[in-house]
Each structure stands twice: as structure tokens, then as C-alpha cells.
Amino acid sequence: MPEKKPTPKQKGSLSPLKIWLIFYNVGSAAAWAFVLALLVKSLVLTGGDWTKSFKTCGWEVTVVQTGALVEVSSLVKTPVTTTIMQVSSRILLVWGVCYPFNAPEVRENWAFSTMVAAWGITEVVRYLYYALNLVGSQPAWLLWCRYNFFFVLYPVGAGSEWILLLKALTPAYKMDPNLAYVFATIAILYPPGLKNMYTYMMAQRRKYLKGASTAPKKQE
């Protein structure tokens, strides 16, 4: 007897894990879009005064970025090494640099605005890409954005993080000299870390822009 073909309902059924992943990715994309909107609103209303950016969206960035800690758990499938590198560096920036040091050289630096802009654009594209993949859709324009925007956004984001880290050395030294030494050591590790992330994304770009399947991808 011929095998019974799945009904449309069976084909479209979603597992609890997939529903969770869709919810997580859509929610994350929306959260980063909100952060970006706050940043743009601040810059527009102040005539491009980046010194006000932290007051406008500093706490929101901290909360949204902290939510990415879920990605180092088993609830979201991600490449362990690259995910830990990216998430840990960002957590350091929001909780270890920008939040604790109420210093103008950190919070009012232009690098905070460029860092948030780079993070926000990267994450809106990334999360939207994964959400649509999970429902079997892969728009060509979004695939192109996912694997081309990083050429500019990665160095802008990492460079901004690096600048803020260096700006925090003086207030960190006043708090605890050992903390300043830790920051300096991390700053030295940024160039090879960026190279590693860049190499990884270049490999992914070659893989997915040369005929990626429409099946849902692992979060990268």
C-alpha cells in the first residue's frame, strides 16, 4: 500500500522548541529595533549630540544585551566559541564598562553611539534572518544583508568597544589598579578576537551565499 502523504496540517506543525526559537528570535529582533529607534530619536532630537545617547538608551541596551546570555545555554543552538566570545565581550561593555563608570569619557563618548548602532543593525538582521528561516523562508535580500553587512559592522562595533574599554582605563585604575590591568589585557586581545570572528563570518558567507538550502540554519 502506498505511503500516506502528510496532510498540510502535519507539514506545517511546529515543535515546542521551534516555537520557542521563533518567539526568541522575533522578540530579540524587536528589542534591538526598539534600541535602535531610541538611539536615532536621541541623535535626531539633539541635532546629532552623541553625549546624550547613553542617557536615552543605555539601560535598554544593557537589558537587551543581557538577554543574549540565553544563547550560551542549551535553549538556543549556537556555535559555542564564537557565541561566547561575542556575548562575553558585550556583557563586559554594558555591565563592566558603561554601566558602573559614571564618567563622561565613557558614557558621553561618540563610540557608545557607534557601538550601539553596529550592535543593533547586526542583531536585527541576524534575528530576523533566523526567525524567517525557522518558518521556511529565506528572502534573498535578507540573506545578502546577513552575510555582507558584517564587513562594516564588525569592525565598527568591535572598534567602538575597544575605544570605550581604553577610555575606561583611567576610572578603572582609580577604582582598583588591578581592574585597569585586566581591561588593558582584554584590549590587547581585541585584534586577534576580531580576526577570529571575521574569519568565521567569511567562511559562513562563502557557505551560504553559494546556494544555501532553505532549511532552518543553526544560529551563528
Q: Which residues are catalytic?
A: 154, 161
Alpha helices, H only, the chain: 8-11, 16-45, 53-66, 80-91, 104-107, 110-134, 140-146, 150-167, 169-175, 177-208
d(CA 164, CA 166): 5
Question: What is the grid cell recorded at 173?
Answer: 585604575
Question: What is the grid cell recorded at 26?
Answer: 522575533
Q: Which residues, other chains included, contact 15 with Cβ-Cβ below 8 Å and sequence gap of 6+?
A: none
Q: What is the chain's length?
A: 220
